[in-house]
Chains A and B, each alone.
Chain A
Amino acid sequence: MSYIIDRRLNAKKKSTVNRQRFLRRYKEHIKRAVEDAIHDRSIIDMERGSEVSIPSRDISEPVFHHGNGGVRQRVFPGNKEFVEGDEIRRPSGGGGGGGSGQGQASNQGEGEDEFTFNISQEEFLDFMFEDLELPYLVRKKLKDATQFETRRAGFSSHGSPEKLHIVRSLRAAHARRIALAGKGESRKEIRALRKELWVLEAKPISDETRLKMAELREQIQKLEKSAKRLPFIDDFDLRYNNLVKVPVPSSKAVMFCLMDVSGSMTQSVKDMAKRFFILLYLFLQRNYKQIEVVFVRHHTHAKEVDEQEFFYSRETGGTIVSSALNLSADIIDARYSPAEWNIYVAQASDGDNWDGDSANCRQLLSKRILPKTQYYAYVEITSGPQQNLWYEYEQVRTEYPDQFAMQQIREASDIYPVFRKLFEKRTENVA
């Protein structure tokens, strides 16, 4: 007696809970692995999972078992040349020496030093962004703060009584009555027949009239019956106002990426700037439902470009930073009203600027840009001493300490710590 059951469509993720328990237990290891990955890996790879290695010492489940030593007798197959009494040199490690007979030690992976597994992209990013928050995020309630707006969306045949649309309902009933019975034909007919009947009733009674009257009465009755069978208004005539809820993203964000692409920016500097932007963008992507990104690059002129051009096309020339700031301010004025948008600006540069321009930049920042933005992050990618732009920006920082952050990056490995520092939880400020 056998039952054959197809279980293939049953739930697959039976082990999910156990897997999560496992990840939870080894959180520290995984976090370390994620941070290493961020340091080492090219930023383009960020959108995938990561490999995590945990020393198997930390992960093993201890049991009582026999250690090395003592006397062991083990039976082996495949004897070729041994005779009784032969002596063999003890093999170093593994093989015949260790193990407690047929114990389960072998599938616990004792030979391996690391227990390696993969975490998914989702998990990777979660670990990467843990403890991070955008400044003023709390105030704006960015995450999951979807508001709804009620909008009319035509009519429906179902609904609650208070949404009943009377005119539409009656119009539908009328149409139905016409469709089923003709346009009042039957009532007109009844009226005509009644008139005829009255005329006959007024007349002296004869066999002929009596017969006619009976016939007329029967006809009237029949017509009235069918007219009655047709209800004035029916369930399916009812029409209701149809209202739908449309999600209104309460927090839209726009991120301005400003980058110097002048001749002084070497490829490796650009590469680092790129990492900074992508990290910021990935982070915003996770926190805002709707984000727009504006790429502004500049040398002596600023230009709004698309992502591809921003990161990958090459330009040369001098450097006037204020041109980019001006353009950004113009774009904000034209397209991104601060009432509707959370504005974030990230600027990357090597610190070079035309000498007379730096003071100009400070003016622009404190007058036109910072009053409208949530946050302005500036990274200077240079290993040399700071130049005048840095000192001007320091003044801005003292003026807007909560909104303006700046940081110097020397090596590729500095990027992630900078990123964390810039967007650390600012709970104490909020409180």
Chain B
Amino acid sequence: MKKKKQPISTGSEWTFELIETYDREIARVARDFGLDTYPNQIEVITSEQMMDAYASIGMPLNYNHWSFGKQFVDTEQNYRRGRMGLAYEIVINSDPCIAYLMEENTMTMQALVIAHACYGHNSFFKGNYLFRTWTDASAIIDYLLFARNYIRQCEERYGVDEVEEILDSCHALMNYGVNRYKRPQPLTAAEEKERQRQREEYIQRHLNQLWQTIPRREESGDIEAQRFPSEPEENILYFIEKNAPLLEPWQREVIRIVRKLAQYFYPQKQTQVMNEGWACFWHYTLLHQLYDEGLVTDGFMMEFLHSHSSVVYQPPFDSPWFSGINPYTLGYNMMQDIRRICEKPTPEDREWFPDIAGSDWKVTLDQAMRNYKDESFILQFLSPRLIRELKLFTLVDNAEHPNLKVSSIHNEMGYKRIREDMAANYNLGNREPNIQVYNVNVRGDRSLTLRHFMHNSQPLGESTEEVLKHLHRLWGFDIHLESVQPDGTVAKRYECPKSNALEVI
């Protein structure tokens, strides 16, 4: 048996030397497990700075907007009144990977955060295919700086209100400002600035052609059949940036900035379960390794386990604390479960996961982390055993029936269906209404028609009218929105401005 080492620390107070020592040890253990990370930049901040970070969606710098102020005021209120604690850490997908540690944390918490953020999340950012495809970790800080300066310049030149209006409208459509299937070009601040002027010119020139008012007679026969755009466009902000007739060049640039940020955050929305599960799995594994080596004390482990188990606690559906499936619980349990399937497969596992049962868990987990997003990860790896453990069941809520129906429970018949239902729950395409730019009346009133392709005949929510007003502000002409059933019938129409309002005028 190996000789037990001296523990790194015994008290709860942290010092910079101790953080450094812990970081070194955790880094060593992480390397032994084969975690590949960006370099870390660990920043110790106060709770007030943490609230600042909250308010600017976790980014170290961002442009100014009232909604961030609202967020800040809200966070501050809730924190001051003790209604909520602040997160122990914030980690930013950048290179080097920036992690914020709060000064109020105890030494144990700091070590936990380092393991969780600096090695868990960090390696996920670096490895997962979505982040690799959609984000450029080395350029984001530069880009944010560019965005902030550009928007400040716009505010100076065109007035705060003017810029605020555009940003409001863009934020309303932020979820519809992402490309889902194309790899965007990597952006650097220098390039961005360089090309911005060229882009302005080009777009203006392009537009003039598009909006030429002189009709071409000879084509009039089949022009009705042609739509613009010829294929529906799901990136509404992109479409507006490139095609809205009345926007100033700087307004297009602002739209672009919001679009780029939306794109940057897009992978995080799709990998919540995996990302947190991965980070929780690794802080658990790394700190246990330190414990096995005798580098941390029993007291340390007690405190750590207390935090860990409250983070991965899943209240049952009928508990007053229930607010949906806890992504930490699901992710962490799935990661542990994969390791178990690899190390100690049961006959059931061999039947369900013939290709990973008994394989090297490090390789399997690494593959899972790299090549999946929440939806496909659940579809692939949610095991019957975990479904039993969490006692999952599916409820069907059909508005046409007075009652909710339990469609599947954790039994032999239900496993597959629950797995599919769970994966569908995490499918962004199901969660957000599928709305696309369908047609522009190029030859007529320039009205823009959007189509909402209904999923399970779910209608749009009550804020739709408001969003359409924002869209109208950006587009400048009438907006129509049609909710379309899969069979092609239009279930509901929205328009902005409302036509009866026009009649009054």
**Residues in chain A within 8 A of chain B (CB atoms):** 1-8, 10, 12-15, 17-25, 59-80, 82-90, 96-97, 99-103, 106, 109, 115-118
**Shortest CB–CB separation between residue B69 and chain A, in angstroms?**
3
CB neighbors of A among B321-360 (8 A): 322-325, 327
Which residues of chain A are near B396, meaning CB under 8 Å?
71-73
Binary interface encoding of chain B residues 428-470 relative to chain A, with 1 for a CB under 8 A from any of its CBs, else 0: 0011110100000000000000000011111111111011001
Expressed in whole angstroms, the Cα–Cα distance for A102 and B40 within the complex equals 31
A8 touching B45 by the CB < 8 A rule?
yes
B323 touching A64 by the CB < 8 A rule?
no
Expressed in whole angstroms, the Cα–Cα distance for A96 and B52 within the complex equals 33
Q: Which of B23, B67, B397, B406 counts the most chain A CB atoms within 10 A?
A: B397
B20 touching A4 by the CB < 8 A rule?
yes
Expressed in whole angstroms, the Cα–Cα distance for A96 and B72 within the complex equals 30
A75 touching B409 by the CB < 8 A rule?
no
Which of the residues B19, B70, B425, B431 comes within 8 Å of A75, measured between beta carbons? B425
A4 touching B459 by the CB < 8 A rule?
no
Which of the residues A21, A71, A84 comes within 8 Å of B414, measured between beta carbons? A84
User: Which of B168-176, B187-195, B248-256, B295-303 lies at the interface with chain A?
Assistant: B168-176
Expressed in whole angstroms, the Cα–Cα distance for A62 and B43 within the complex equals 34
Expressed in whole angstroms, the Cα–Cα distance for A37 and B309 within the complex equals 45
User: Which of B276-284, B365-373, B385-393 lies at the interface with chain A?
Assistant: B385-393
B39 touching A1 by the CB < 8 A rule?
yes
Expressed in whole angstroms, the Cα–Cα distance for A152 and B275 within the complex equals 71
Which of the residues B164, B175, B459 comes within 8 Å of A63, measured between beta carbons? B175
Known: A7-B44, A76-B392, A100-B431. A70 touches B458 (CB 8 A): yes
Q: What is the size, in residues, of chain B's interface with A at 8 Å between Cβ atoms? A: 103
**Shortest CB–CB separation between residue B200 and chain A, in angstroms?**
27
Which of the residues B314, B403, B409, B418 comes within 8 Å of A90, measured between beta carbons? B403
Which residues of chain A are near B41, meaning CB under 8 Å?
2-3, 5
Which of the residues A18, A25, A71, A96 comes within 8 Å of B456, measured between beta carbons? A71
Known: A73-B407, A90-B403. A8 touches B103 (CB 8 A): yes
Which residues of chain B are near A69, meaning CB under 8 Å?
399, 457-459
Which residues of chain B are near A59, meaning CB under 8 Å?
70
Which residues of chain B are near A72, meaning CB under 8 Å?
396-398, 456, 458
Expressed in whole angstroms, the Cα–Cα distance for A62 and B496 within the complex equals 15
Expressed in whole angstroms, the Cα–Cα distance for A38 and B260 within the complex equals 46
A115 touching B172 by the CB < 8 A rule?
no
A67 touching B319 by the CB < 8 A rule?
no
B405 touching A86 by the CB < 8 A rule?
yes
**Shortest CB–CB separation between residue B71 and chain A, in angstroms?**
8
Considering the complex, give the chain B residue whose CB is closest to the CB of A103: B431
Main secondary structure of the interface of A (DSSP, over half): loop
A14 touching B16 by the CB < 8 A rule?
no
Which residues of chain A are near B319, meaning CB under 8 Å?
78
Could you list 7 examples of A-B contacts with CB < 8 Å? A6-B43, A18-B55, A18-B65, A73-B396, A73-B456, A79-B393, A99-B324
Known: A4-B20, A5-B43. A102 touches B74 (CB 8 A): no
Considering the complex, give the chain B residue whose CB is closest to the CB of A19: B69
Considering the complex, give the chain B residue whose CB is closest to the CB of A4: B42
B44 touching A5 by the CB < 8 A rule?
yes
A65 touching B46 by the CB < 8 A rule?
no
Expressed in whole angstroms, the Cα–Cα distance for A1 and B39 within the complex equals 5
Considering the complex, give the chain A residue whose CB is closest to the CB of B269: A104
Expressed in whole angstroms, the Cα–Cα distance for A1 and B97 within the complex equals 11
B397 touching A74 by the CB < 8 A rule?
yes
Which residues of chain A are near B406, meaning CB under 8 Å?
82-88
Q: Which of A18, A61, A71, A88 counts the most chain B CB atoms within 10 A?
A: A18
Expressed in whole angstroms, the Cα–Cα distance for A154 and B461 within the complex equals 77
Expressed in whole angstroms, the Cα–Cα distance for A70 and B399 within the complex equals 5
Considering the complex, give the chain A residue whose CB is closest to the CB of B67: A61
A61 touching B65 by the CB < 8 A rule?
no
B392 touching A79 by the CB < 8 A rule?
yes
Expressed in whole angstroms, the Cα–Cα distance for A85 and B393 within the complex equals 11
Q: Is B196 an interface residue (CB 8 A)?
A: no
A12 touching B425 by the CB < 8 A rule?
no
Expressed in whole angstroms, the Cα–Cα distance for A18 and B164 within the complex equals 11
A64 touching B317 by the CB < 8 A rule?
no
A67 touching B461 by the CB < 8 A rule?
yes
B318 touching A2 by the CB < 8 A rule?
no
Known: A2-B39, A5-B41, A73-B394. A102 touches B425 (CB 8 A): yes
